[in-house]
Amino acid sequence: MVDPSNNESSATYFILIGLPGWEEAQFWLAFPLCSLYLIAVLGNLTIIYIVRTEHSLHEPMYIFLCMLSGLDILISTSSMPKMMAIFWFNSTVIQFDACLLQMFAIHSLSGMESTVLLAMAFDRYVAICHPLRHATVLTLPRITKIGMAAVVRGTALMAPLPIFIKRLPFCHSNILSHSYCLHQDVMKLACADIRVNIIYGLIVIISAIGLDSLLISLSYLLILKTVLGLTREAQAKAFGTCVSHVCAVFIFYVPFIGLSMVHRFGKRRDSLLPIIMANIYLLVPPVLNPVVYGVKTKEIRQRILRLFHVTTHTSDP
C-alpha cells in the first residue's frame, strides 16, 4: 500500500483484522454470526412479505416498517459477507474503492434508517394526538415522498465522504481495527490533518442522528401528554402501539451512540470493545427488529402464525 521512501502516499488497499487475539476462534464464531445474518434476512423478508400480501396492513405504520426492514437487510448485507470471508477464509484485504463503497453504504443507509424511525415516530404522534387527521395527513403519496426523502437525505449527507477520504494521504499503517470499513477508523490512519473529516463527521451526527433523536423524543413527550389524559383502557391501547417502535429506536440509537463515543474518546485502537460494538451495531438491530414487531404487534404476530400454520399444513402428506 505504501512506499516507505515517500512521506505521503495514496492507499490502494486496507487490511481488515477481524477480532484481534481471537484468530483461532474466528472460524467457529463465524457460524453463529452467519446464522444471525440469515435470521435477520429471513425475518425482515417475512415482515415485507406479510405486509405486502395482507391488504389490511397497508397502513402508514406497516409501510414504514417495510422500509425499516428493507434497510436492515441492506445494512447487514453491506458488511456481513465480507466479515464471513475474513473469519472463514482469512480474506482480510479490501481494495480502497471497495472500502470506500462499503463505508458510503453503511453510513448512508444508517442515515436513511434514522429518517425512517423519525417518520414512524411522526406516524405514532399523528395517530394518537390527531387521530381524525391521520388518514388525510399520511396518505400513500405522502408516505412515498417521505421514503424518497429518506433516501435523498442519507445519500446527500454522505456525498462528501468519498472526497474527504480520497484527499487524505496514508503513509503509515493500512490495518483497520474493524471487520469492515468505517469513516472514523479509516481517517485515523491518515498522516495528515484530519480536522476537516472530524468536523464533517460531527456535522453529520448532529444534523442527522442528533436532530432525529431529538424530534423522536419530542414526539413521544407530546404523545405521553395526550395519553395521560385518556382512560386506562385507551392508555394501554395507545402505549401498545408505541412499544415496538420505542424498542426499535433504542435498538438502533444506543449501539450507534455508544460506538461513536468509543471512537471519539477511546485511546486504544487495539481494544476489542469498539470492534464488538461495531459488529453489534450492524447485526443486532436487523435481527431484533423483526422479533420485536413479531412479538409486540398483534397484527404481525397473527399473520406470522397463520403463515407458519399454512406452511406446516401443506407439507403434511
Q: Please tell me the total number of residues recorded for the chain in this structure.
A: 317
Residue 15: closest CA among 106, 107, 101, 98: 98
Q: For residue 27, what are the CA distances in angstroms to 57, 65, 87, 272, 282?
A: 42, 34, 5, 17, 19
% helix, strand, coil for the chain, step of 5:
75, 5, 20
Stretch 184-199: mean pLDDT: 88
Stretch 242-247: mean pLDDT: 90
Please tell me which residue, 307 or 53, carries the higher pLDDT value: 53
pLDDT digits (tens, 9 = 90+) for 169-182: 888 788 888 888 98
Confidence of residue 62 (pLDDT cuts 50, 70, 90): very high
Distance CA 65, CA 247 (A): 13
Domain coordinates in residue numbering, the chain: 13-298
Supply the DSSP symbol for 55: G
Report the topology of domain 13-298: Rhopdopsin 7-helix transmembrane proteins (1.20.1070)
| Dihedral sign of CA atoms 215, 219, 222, 228 in order | negative
Mean pLDDT (the chain) is 86
SS3 at position 309: helix
Predicted model pTM: 0.89
Residue 104: closest CA among 144, 164, 44: 164
Distance CA 171, CA 6 (A): 8
**All three cell numbers of 110:** 444508517
Distance CA 171, CA 21 (A): 25
pLDDT digits (tens, 9 = 90+) for 129-145: 999 999 999 999 999 99
Confidence of residue 297 (pLDDT cuts 50, 70, 90): confident
pLDDT digits (tens, 9 = 90+) for 91-119: 999 999 999 999 999 999 999 999 999 99
Highest mean pLDDT among 6-15, 140-149, 181-190: 140-149
Distance CA 300, CA 305 (A): 9
Stretch 193-214: mean pLDDT: 91
